[in-house]
Structure 1
Amino acid sequence: MTRIAIIIGSTRPRRRTAVAARWVAEVAAQHPAVAAGQATFEVVDLAEYGLSVLDEPVPALFGDYRNAHTARWAETIRSFDGFVFVTPEYNHSVPAALKNAIDFLFAEWNNKAAGFVSHGVHGGTRAVEHLRLTMTELQVANVRTQVALSVFTDFEITDPAEPGVIAPGPHQEPTLIELLDEVIAWSQALKPLREATSHVLSA
């Protein structure tokens, strides 16, 4: 079975990102591949991992992790075949917490697939542009389809200090389903590479 993580890419209290991630999970749960037992989706919340600012003494490329929080994070990411990153845009880029979490690891990301659901004043599109570059360096296949949620039209917000309620436009769910189709397909297509790499590492 193909396992896909829906990663909440913000650790702020009362995150709108968590609201968006729950919507992604609800749509994903209805996907035909899930009903057929071919794929499963699981929400992964960065806030639950307690990652400090990168504190590993050895670069992630070598896989020589020394800290318990890194080992726990590595075990989680290693267990998935693909990812849907749900991210806000902070100052034209990726949240520091998300970039930091990505940088803790290397091989655990390799030969997998990723899609992006973003939100913000500009739909979070500029954060995703930066994420695509990072994922490419980590040998993660970026799918083309992207969901960009506007804070003005895809959420109902009465208090800017609260996350509000997600209210996606009618085009957003079909776009998300297309994104999920692509992430599942690419994750499955890359399985032989993951298996070959796993064999080499364990030899």
Structure 2
Amino acid sequence: MSTPRIAVIIGTTRPTRFGDKPAAWIKDKIEADGRMSVDILDLAEYDLPFFDEMASNKWMPSKDPKALKWQEDLAKYDGYVFIVAEYNHSISGALKNALDQAFVEWGKKPAAVVGYGGTGAARAVEHLRGIAVELRMVNVASAVHIGGGEFMKVHPLGGNADAKVSDIDDVLAPSAKALIDELYWWADLLKGARAADQAKAA
């Protein structure tokens, strides 16, 4: 069976966002592990409209070309790593909208999370896990939380605009390894299960 494909999804779109840094870091980690291929999907590049379809594509096809492109790209992957900032104790509006713009494509695939912020986006991650269940994803329990003093070491708010997440790798590496190991287990398992389902339906 082919190597599982993973999409790292940057969950914010603001010009001043921090999310591209942890996205690049976890992408490098997955590539170094070697068991999965990985790409970054940047919500800022999709310019998704607010969800205004007649219904979810669980029930009928979407019509907006931008939503269709998003769905087509998501369908290529066997699992996802969401880069999550905490906006007022939850995920960003941009990420919630992107999640709502698909249904079929998320199903029976693992969802892992790298969260960042004062509390490592813990509350936003918990909200995302509930959404993932509704979208028929499998939550990867192991997560990376970049928070507290370690967050300030690599964020511009701490006066470290040029810092990289790799600068605190010694602290994050164990969590990253646990995330990648569990993500691979689920991605490989579910990739085979989906293929078996498709074969039965053919």
TM-score in terms of structure 2 length = 0.89
User: Over aligned residue pairs, what C-alpha RMSD do you find?
Assistant: 2.1
Judged with a 3 Å threshold, the aligned counterparts in structure 2 of structure 1 residues 134 and 15 are, in CA distance, closer, same or farther, namely same
Residue ranges of structure 2 left out of the alignment (5+ in a row): none
Residue ranges of structure 1 left out of the alignment (5+ in a row): 34-38
Structure 2 match to 1:114: 111
Q: CA deviation at 1:70?
A: 0.9
| Cα separation, 2, equivalents of 1:158 and 1:95 | 20
Q: Is the 8 A contact 1:14 1:162 kept in 2?
A: no
Q: Deviations over 1:23-63 (max 9, x none)?
A: 11121221132xxxxx2011110111110111212323224
| Cα separation, 1, equivalents of 2:129 and 2:157 | 32
Structure 1 match to 2:154: 156
Judged with a 3 Å threshold, the aligned counterparts in structure 2 of structure 1 residues 80 and 163 are, in CA distance, closer, same or farther, namely farther
Task: Identify the match of residue 126 of structure 2 among 129, 150, 157.
Answer: 129
Secondary structure class of the residue paired with 1:136? helix
Residue identity (%): 34
The number of aligned residues is: 197
Q: CA deviation at 1:139?
A: 1.2
Task: Identify the match of residue 39 of structure 2 among 39, 42, 45.
Answer: 42
Judged with a 3 Å threshold, the aligned counterparts in structure 2 of structure 1 residues 111 and 158 are, in CA distance, closer, same or farther, namely closer
Larger strand proportion of the pair: 1
| Cα separation, 2, equivalents of 1:58 and 1:64 | 8
| Cα separation, 1, equivalents of 2:63 and 2:25 | 36
Structure 1 match to 2:27: 25
Q: Deviations over 1:70-106 (max 9, x none)?
A: 1100001111000111110000001000010000110
TM-score in terms of structure 1 length = 0.88
